[in-house]
C-alpha cells in the first residue's frame, strides 16, 4: 500500500512538472542534474539527467553553483533568454 502511495505521488509530481510553463532544474549536492522539465529544455536547450551543473548554460550554471556553495535553496530565478 505504501509503495502504491509513493507511485501515485511521483506520478502526480511528474504531471505537475510537465504541465508547468516555468523551467525547473534541480541538482543534487554534487551538482548533477536530477530533475528537469520540458519548459527548462525549451528555454535552455538540451539538459540531461546526470549532467553536471558546470556544463549547463552560463546563467543557469552560475546560479546553481552559488546555491550549492551556500547550501541554500533558490526559490525563484528569472532570466531573459534570447533566441
Which set of grid coordinates corresponds to residue 37? 522539465
Query: pTM for the whole thing?
Result: 0.70
Q: How many Cα atoms are found within 13 Å in the side-chain-facing hemisphere of 33?
A: 21
pLDDT at 78 exceeding the cut of 70: no
Work out the average pLDDT over 53-60. 88
d(C-alpha 9, C-alpha 38), whole Å: 19
Rounded to whole angstroms, how far apart are CA atoms 36 and 56? 12
Does residue 5 register a pLDDT over 60? yes
Q: Evaluate if residue 57 carries a pLDDT over 80.
A: yes
Contacts with 8 (C-beta within 8 Å, 6 or more apart), sequence order: none
Q: How far apart are the first and last CA of the chain?
A: 47
Amino acid at each position: 500500500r505504501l509503495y502504491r502511495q509513493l507511485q501515485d505521488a511521483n506520478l502526480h509530481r511528474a504531471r505537475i512538472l510537465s504541465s508547468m510553463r516555468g523551467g525547473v532544474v534541480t541538482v543534487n549536492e554534487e551538482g548533477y542534474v536530477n530533475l528537469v522539465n520540458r519548459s527548462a529544455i525549451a528555454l535552455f536547450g538540451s539538459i540531461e539527467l546526470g549532467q553536471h551543473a558546470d556544463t549547463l548554460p552560463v546563467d543557469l550554471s552560475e546560479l546553481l553553483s552559488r546555491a550549492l556553495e551556500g547550501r541554500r535553496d533558490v526559490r525563484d530565478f528569472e532570466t531573459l533568454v534570447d533566441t
